[in-house]
Every structure is written in C-alpha cells, then in structure tokens.
C-alpha cells in the first residue's frame, strides 16, 4: 500500500512538475507570441500613424488595443483548455485507476489559478486600455491645440490679408474717385473750352459780318467821298467865280464875320498901307479870335506876306492894335516877335504872325466894320 502510494505520489509530483513546466513553457510561448503580436500591431499602428491623419490613427490604435485584449483573453482560455487536456492525458497515462480523483484535485487548484490569471489579464487589459485612451486623449489634445494654433495663425494671416486687401481696395477706390474727379474736371474744362470756342466762332462770324458791312460802308463812303470831292471841286470853282464877280462888283472887298475885308494886289509900307485903308473908311485888319484868323487864311495867298493893324512903335514890346486895344488873341510864330527896335510892325506870314520893319513893302489887308 505504501509502495503504491510512493509510486503513486512520484508520478503525481512529476506530473504536476511537468504540468507546471509545460504550463510555464506554454505561458512563455504565449507571452512571446503575444509580445510579437503586439509588436507587429504596434509596427502596423506606427505605419498607419505615419501614413494617415491623427484622428484616424487614434481610432485605429484604440481598436487595436481592444483587439489585443480580446485576443489575449482568448489565448488564455485556449491555454487553460490545453492545460486541462494535458493534465487529463498525463493522469490517464500514469495511472488509469486514479484518473477521476487526480482530475478533480488538479481542476480545483487550476480553477483558482485561472481566476487569478483572468483577473490579472483583465486588470492589465484595463490599464493598457486606460493608457491607450489617455495617450489618445493627449495626442488628440495636442492635435487639437496644434490645429487650433495653426487655425489661429491662419486666421490671423487671413485677417491680415483681408486688412491689406481692404486697404488696397480702399486706396484703389480713392484713386478711382480722384481719377473720376479729374476726369469730371477735364470734361468740365472741355465743355468750357467748347463753349468759349463756340462763342469765339460766333464772335468771328459777327466780326466777319461787321467787316463785310464795314467794307460795304467803306465802299459806299469812298463813292460818296468821290462824289463829294467832285462836288467840292465844283463848289470851289463856283466860289472862285463868285469871288471874282464879287471883287469886280465891290472893288475887291469881301464880306465875312460882319465886316468887309480888302486884299491888296500891290505892296506898300505899313504906314502907306494904313493910309490906303483909312482913306476908304477902313483900317488895317484887327484879328480878335481864331475864327477870324482862320477866315483870313482862307481869303489870302498863304505864300505871301500881309500887313495887319498891330504895332509896338509907340512903346517897344507893348503891342497894340490900331484902335489902341491890347491884343487878347495871339498867333505869333516860333521866336516871334524878335526884331526889337528895327521890327515894330506885324504881318501875317503863312499861318502865323511875325514882326518886320515898318518901312518894308508888303501886301496888306483892310477891314471895314458894318454898323448895325
């Protein structure tokens, strides 16, 4: 009985040792396999992270972590089933008669180990899941912050561009307004110039019409002038004829300015000329104003010299008319009178007066006033 117990115990211990050893080996293999699987998944995850966007990357990583946990639990369940199968097989080989009792003992201890391993696996899986979730949240937060920073920078850049474009647009609008104002001013100037041009053209037309009218009037005046000159010549001829007839009828006396004037045809001294006039109830002419002077110029030969009734013989430099009156009208020539004591009698020379020696012989003019 004791031998049987020893014999029975040794195989049982060996069996447990083998089971533990096989379980450890199997567990190490499973752990290694899981580690390789995780590494493969991590490599795949890293590859996906580098080739896709970060949001897809975090989602895939979460899914892969959950998948690893599920696979790990499934591997443990498969491991337990294999352990149970090995224990039953070993127990049956060592001693067939003790199969039921050995199986029950192994099942009791193995159940506790399985529950512990399941709890640990669930804890590890939960921790891994939390780590993955935390990592995903951190990555997502960093991604969001980065994106937000990028969006903020892009927004600031866009705002800066919008401000620059707005300023450029405002400047362009201001330039357009200035150009429009300049264009309007130019158009206004063109309109003003056009109006001035039109007014100038109208003035030119009016001036042309006035010029034509003036030319016509000038032609008429020229014709009238010719007619008047012809008529004047006729009148001069008639006047000369009348004067000759008048001289013949009045012995050379001419009427004008309420007086009769005699123009001599011979020459005498001043005293002899005055004596001729007084013998006929007259005296040498007294010229009182310019009108009478102009009348005398018309009735005498302007190339001859004629004595008039003006002298300073009584007092040098004090000129008196033959009636004793002081002249109120003078028509002396340049530098006249200038004869001092030698030239004391006046005469009409051309259109002015001059003093000459009284003894010189010249023509004379007598004047007879008509008493009314």
Residue 191 backbone dihedrals phi, psi, to 5 degrees: -60, -45
Residue 353: left if φ>0, alpha if ψ -120 to 50, beta else—which one?
Answer: beta
Q: What is the CA radius of gyration of the chain?
A: 80
- Count Cα atoms within 13 angstroms, Cβ side, for 115: 5
Q: What's the token pair of residue 281?
A: 């109830």
Residue-by-residue pLDDT tens, the chain, 372 positions: 444 333 344 444 444 444 444 444 444 455 555 555 554 444 544 444 444 455 555 555 555 655 665 555 555 555 555 544 454 444 444 444 444 444 444 555 667 777 888 888 888 888 988 999 999 999 998 989 988 888 888 889 999 999 999 999 999 999 999 999 999 999 999 999 999 999 999 999 999 999 999 999 999 999 999 999 999 999 888 876 765 665 555 677 888 878 889 999 899 999 999 999 999 999 999 999 999 998 888 888 878 899 999 999 888 889 999 999 999 998 898 888 887 668 899 999 877 899 999 999 999 999 998 754
pLDDT number for residue 207: 93
- Domains of the chain and CATH, by start: 2-159 (no CATH), 251-369 (3.10.100.10)
Cα–Cα distance, 111 to 11 (Å, whole number): 22
- The DSSP bridge pattern shows strands 345-349 and 259-263 to be unpaired
State the Cα–Cα distance between residues 188 and 199, nearest whole angstrom.
Answer: 16
What is the spatial distance between Cα 368 and Cα 79, in angstroms, rounded to a whole number?
Answer: 184
Q: What are phi and psi of 353, to 5 degrees?
A: -105, 155
Handedness of CA 212, 213, 219, 225 (dihedral sign): negative
Report the candidate in 294, 308, 330 with the shortest Cα–Cα distance to residue 263.
308
């Amino acid at each position: 009985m004791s031998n049987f117990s020893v014999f029975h115990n040794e195989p049982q211990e060996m069996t447990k040792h083998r089971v533990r050893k096989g379980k450890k080996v199997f567990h190490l293999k499973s752990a290694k396999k899981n580690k390789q699987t995780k590494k493969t998944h991590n490599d795949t995850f890293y590859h996906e992270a580098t080739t896709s966007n970060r949001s897809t990357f975090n989602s895939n990583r979460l899914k892969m972590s959950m998948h690893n946990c599920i696979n790990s639990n499934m591997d443990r369940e498969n491991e337990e089933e294999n352990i149970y199968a090995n224990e039953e097989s070993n127990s049956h080989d060592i001693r067939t008669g003790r199969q039921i009792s050995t199986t029950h003992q192994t099942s009791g201890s193995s159940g506790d180990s399985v529950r512990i391993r399941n709890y640990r696996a669930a804890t590890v899986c939960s921790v891994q899941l939390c780590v993955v979730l935390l990592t995903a949240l951190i990555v997502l937060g960093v991604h969001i912050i980065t994106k937000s920073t990028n969006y903020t920078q892009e927004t600031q850049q866009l705002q800066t561009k919008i401000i620059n474009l707005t300023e450029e647009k405002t400047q362009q609008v201001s330039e357009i307004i200035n150009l429009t104002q300049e264009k309007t001013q130019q158009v206004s100037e063109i309109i003003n110039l056009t109006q001035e041009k039109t007014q100038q053209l109208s003035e030119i037309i009016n001036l042309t019409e006035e010029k034509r009218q003036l030319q016509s009037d000038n032609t008429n005046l020229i014709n009238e002038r010719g007619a008047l000159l012809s008529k004047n010549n006729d009148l001069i001829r008639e006047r000369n004829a009348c004067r000759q007839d008048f001289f013949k009828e009045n012995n050379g006396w001419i009427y004008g300015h309420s007086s009769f004037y005699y123009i001599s045809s011979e020459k005498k001294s001043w005293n002899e000329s005055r004596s001729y006039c007084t013998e006929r109830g007259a005296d040498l002419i007294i010229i009182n104003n310019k009108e009478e002077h102009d009348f005398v110029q018309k009735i005498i030969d302007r190339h001859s010299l004629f004595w008039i009734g003006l002298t300073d013989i009584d007092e040098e430099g004090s000129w008196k008319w033959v009636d004793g009156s002081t002249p109120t009208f003078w028509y002396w020539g340049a530098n006249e009178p200038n004869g001092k004591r030698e030239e004391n009698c006046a005469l009409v020379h051309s259109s002015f007066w001059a003093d000459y020696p009284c003894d010189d012989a010249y023509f004379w003019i007598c004047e007879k006033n008509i008493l009314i």
